[in-house]
Amino acid sequence: MTETAATPTEQASIDFGQALGSILRSYLDNARDAVSDLPGGPRAYQVMSVANGDECSNQVTIATRLGIDRTVMTYLVDDLEKAGLVTRRPDPADRRSRQVVLTAKGTKTFAAASKRIADVERAVLGNLPDEDADTFRQLLLRVAAAGPVVEACDVPGVADC
């Protein structure tokens, strides 16, 4: 990951979509390696990240938030549950739904995976000074929070979903 900085002419020839695609491919390639021990890889990490939050979300809410097909979500949570990383419990707001909650093993596994994912993020943003990388993350989160949920497998050039 020691690419040289693009010249102003090269920067102008790369459009927004290409830049996002390049960042996404770099992140996913490295994230797959970093969380290969999780059943479901980066998607499992994302599910665990939501399950680790303060709000206990049910499967449908997590699937919608992450842009994962509900059927795929069921299989993913099944695999995480078989690995002892999450458990399902009735949602107090809707007893027909199930919340996804990290187990003690899941909490420990998620903490370790989070450190590896942080290393991936640092590598992907390695060409930026720390302050710029922090600003980029903050802006990216704001844009993501304001926009629609997009299925990662719908992004051209992203395979292995």
pLDDT number for residue 64 = 87
Global confidence as pTM: 0.77
pLDDT number for residue 97 = 85
**Residues in a beta bridge with 91:** 94
Q: Provide mean pLDDT across the span 120-132.
A: 94
Sequence-distant (≥ 6) Cβ neighbours of residue 76 within 8 angstroms: 39, 40, 43, 44, 47, 68
Domain boundaries, the chain: 16-154
pLDDT number for residue 149 = 52
pLDDT in tens, 19-59: 899 999 999 999 999 999 999 999 999 999 999 986 768 88
Q: Which of 47, 94, 105, 104 is nearest to 75 (CA)?
A: 47
pLDDT number for residue 54 = 67
How many residues comprise the chain?
Answer: 161
The CA distance from 45 to 114, in Å, is 8
State whether CATH 1.20.1440.230 applies to domain 16-154: no
Sequence-distant (≥ 6) Cβ neighbours of residue 35 within 8 angstroms: 41, 42, 44, 45, 113, 116, 117
